[in-house]
Amino acid sequence: MPDARLLTEAVTRLRRALRASIRTDYPWETLPMAQVELLQVLAEHSPARIGDLATRQRLAASTVSGLVGQMINAGLVARAVDSADRRASVVTLTEAGKEQLAAWNRAHENRLDAAWEALDDTDRAAVRAALPALFRLAEHLEDPGT
């Protein structure tokens, strides 16, 4: 389907452009995208078990465990005993993790604001009008049963 291909290309280009521009405009930002995505999930669903994070991110638990280990070493997240099951552990954002995520979000918003201003009114209106449908599309991708 041409629409699916074009949408895939547009999303891929947007993600690539954002990643590249943030490294150019904000060279201090070195957090890998996989860690940023885990911080985003933890900001919405914290505390969380490794298995739950892996399921949400559609990654292997061992991959998430490795990322979490790196993030613990960086002070972005902490591991604690799960109060519901003392045999298990959960991961939470630290203050440093919250601050890093907030800085990352601000940097991206600043970059997008600049690009947004470069669009004409017609393009801005078209993007704004498409946002609700894009969120619904993401929901369908996250839960294929819907």
Give the DSSP letter string of 36-55: HHHHHHHHHS-SB-HHHHHH
| Predicted local confidence at residue 54, as pLDDT | 92
Distance (Å, rounded) from C-alpha 73 to C-alpha 86? Answer: 23
Residue-level pLDDT at 20: 79
Q: What is the C-alpha separation between 128 and 122, in angstroms, rounded? A: 10
CB atoms under 10 Å from CB of 71, counted, come to 26
Do residues 35 and 70 touch, judged by C-beta distance below 8 A? yes
Residues 41-66: tens digit of each pLDDT? 999 998 999 989 999 888 999 999 99
Q: What is the pLDDT of residues 56-107, one digit of tens each?
A: 888 999 999 999 999 999 999 999 988 888 888 899 999 999 998 998 888 8
